[in-house]
Amino acid sequence: MNKKSTISRRRMLGMGAGLIGTAVAAPAFVPATALGKNGARAPSERITMGFIGVGTQGGGHLLGGAWTYVTGGYTGRRDVQVLAVCDVWRERRENARRRVDQHYAETYGKGNYRACEAYVDFRNVLDRPDIDAVLIATPAHWHSTMAVMAAQAGKDIYCEKPTSVTVRDSQAVLAAVRRYARIFQAGTQQRSEYTGLFRRACEFVRSGRIGKLLEIYAYREGGGIAWPRRFGPAMPIPEDLDWDLYLGPAPDLPYDGNTGAHRFDIGELNWGQHHYDIVQWAAGADETGPVELFLHEGRSAYRYASGVTVYGMPYPVESPGWDGGAVFVGSEGRIAVDRSAMTAVPADIIREPLHPDETHLYRSESHSGNFLECVRTRKRPISDVDIAHRAASALLLSGVVKQLRRPLKWDPQREEFPGDEEANRMLSYAKRASWHT
């Protein structure tokens, strides 16, 4: 096991007294949970985590939410110790810290138990040698920069979607995670959750239950990012907001009262990677990407070298709900799936369970659990960095064709638009000088 995957008792004792007092401040007695009794893990076996961005999404991961699927979130897990939270909003980070400490105080039966520190600057979290892994749930324009810096700091990473807002930055995440041998799990939890509906749909498609795969309807089209060219009147920056850290690698924009997580998004940047991740899985394209992109009925579409065509729109006859859905059309039938149901035409092609000689895909029944298991074992996660990069690229390339509104050729090996300088310029953006990675 990699030495960074858990924090040893000896290492804790060797830490400076000041850091121990700040980060741990253990209760005056030794509870049974600290000894690993009653189903809990001993401290030396717990994965220590820091949470960067604790708004709606990050706060749900931290303390429990509709998309985390574990009561109490990571804080409620007996195999995790949350040591740090970070947010540019003071109220968010202090509220998160209080709730984490309250949970541990109740768990350990000590009213003044202090385990978690709150930071405004994520670099303080990355600097802590006692933190094994970080969860990144900031606005999307921060994801790749933070992921690269976390890998450089030796942290394992759970990063919310989209993995990046440009293809070049997604490549940078891939390179850093590989170079520093870190575990990376993208927050595309449809591969793990929802009673395995998406996995089983992809297994049926790849096993030939619908015949030759011809078309995929991803329900949502591509996305990207664009900085506003016009701004509302500049407003005073709230005292409890670090606006400079909110912007990070973004241009030096004036504060205008809007700090929405998706304020710079174009198209389906927020939700899209969920859809294109499943498209890639069903098409057997986790290691490649499109070869041509175009518009269909005004929406982004693309084609793989295999001839399979992907449309960023609902299936015209029937479609699953908006909730993460896709429709796979083959020569002998079709399968529709979303987070609540899977249907097929003809219906009997999904009634018979998967046979031993058919395609069986990576099985995970908990996305957060799979991440933690892989931190311990150094096994490849179900949504690892290679998969995340290709899914993000499919989304972002579709966003490029959506903006240029003309057909494009793409080389998935060289990862460039051959001979197309205008399109290639849209694979990256100029960051503020202090945030180059």
Q: What sign does the dihedral 380-188-261-229 (CA atoms) show?
A: positive
What was the pLDDT predicted at 325?
A: 87
Question: How far is residue 363's CA from residue 193's CA, in Å, rounded to a whole number?
Answer: 10
Whether the bond into 129 is cis, omega within 30 of 0: no
Q: Which residue has the tokens 């795969």?
A: 213
Apex 384 CA angle, 386 and 59, nearest 5: 130
For 123, 210, 266, 283, 362, the CA distances from 203, given in Å and listed in that order, are 41, 11, 32, 10, 10
What are the pLDDT tens digits along the chain (437 aa)? Answer: 443 333 343 333 333 333 333 333 333 333 334 444 445 566 668 999 999 999 999 999 999 987 778 889 999 999 999 999 999 999 999 999 999 999 999 887 776 778 899 999 999 999 999 999 999 999 999 999 999 999 999 999 999 999 999 999 999 999 999 999 999 999 999 999 999 999 999 999 999 999 999 999 998 999 999 888 766 678 999 999 999 999 999 998 999 888 888 889 888 999 999 999 999 999 999 999 999 999 999 999 999 999 999 999 998 876 555 567 899 999 999 999 999 999 999 999 999 999 999 999 999 999 999 999 999 999 999 999 999 999 999 999 999 999 999 999 999 999 999 999 999 999 999 998 877 65
Q: How far is CA 429 from the centre of its chain?
A: 21
What was the pLDDT predicted at 434?
A: 79
Alpha helices in 229-366 (DSSP H): 243-247, 272-283
Domains, the chain, ordered by start? 3-138 (3.40.50), 195-223+268-364+387-412 (3.30.360)
Q: How far is CA 403 from the centre of its chain?
A: 24
Interstrand relation of 184-186 and 333-337 (parallel, antiparallel or unpaired): unpaired
Element (H, E) at 254: none
pTM, rounded to two decimals = 0.89
Question: How far is residue 45's CA from residue 53's CA, in Å, rounded to a whole number?
Answer: 25
What was the pLDDT predicted at 41?
A: 61
Collapsing DSSP to helix, strand or coil, 411 comes out as strand
